[in-house]
Amino acid sequence: MKKKGDDPLAGHVSGQSNKPLSRPLHSLTFNDVVKELESDEINGLHTAVAKQRLDEFGPNDLGEADGVSPVKIIIAQIANAMTLVLIMAMAGGVITFVILLNVIVGFFREYSAEKTMDSLRSLSSPTASVVRDGKSSVIPSGDIVPGDLIELKTGDIIPADARYA
């Protein structure tokens, strides 16, 4: 059984770094990024440092999903607080129509979003070429950590939230 302290991502806010930098990554110079991420622009990260960061930050992936469940989406749309209030206040056909329209539109929007996420998961790059300990190696893209030096060739899918220098 996992304890609360066992989860390395406990308290992580999506879209924010677990270890904030002095400024957002896109506004730092290449040399500042290398310095703040304690990387090396020639040799990349040491394998031990990369493993420690993988343990600290977790894998670089979109996470597992059960897939799209239309029934769950419909239940979530009906259980929406606004929809429940309207159902309780339902007095005539117009309100019923508005509720049904709200549920149907919400269902198709969420269904489309779930399908898009499934497509993005299938497009993700399964491996990446990184420089660690001064040598190029191919690793699973989920093992990329902040500060890794990623090698890209023409036509490659960028395997992470990378910054071009």
The residues pairing with 45 across neighbouring beta strands, listed in sequence order, are 132
132 class by beta-carbon count within 10 Å (0-12 exposed, 13-18 middle, 19+ buried):
buried
User: What one-character DSSP code corresponds to residue 4?
Assistant: G
Cα(74)–Cα(131) distance, rounded to whole angstroms? 47
The pTM of the whole model exceeds 0.85: no
> In which residue ranges of the chain is pLDDT below 70?
1-18, 91, 124-125, 160, 165
H-run or E-run covering 116: helix 93-123
In the chain, domain spans:
25-62+125-150, 70-123
Distance between CA atoms of 25 and 149, rounded to whole angstroms?
15
* pLDDT for the residue numbered 103: 92
Residue 114 DSSP one-character state? H
CA distances from 101 to 66, 77, 93, 95 (A): 27, 11, 12, 10
Predicted confidence at residue 25, as pLDDT, reads: 78
DSSP per-residue letters across 53-107: HHHHH--SS--------HHHHHHHHHT-HHHHHHHHT--SHHHHHHHHHHHHHHH
pLDDT tens for 93-105 read 778 888 889 999 9
- Rounded to whole angstroms, the Cα distance separating 106 from 77 reads 6
Tell me how far apart the alpha carbons of residues 88 and 97 are, in angstroms, rounded to a whole number: 14
We find that the CATH architecture of domain 25-62+125-150 is: Distorted Sandwich (2.70)
Q: What does the pLDDT look like over 126-138, one tens digit per residue? A: 888 999 999 999 9
What is the structure's pLDDT at 111? 93
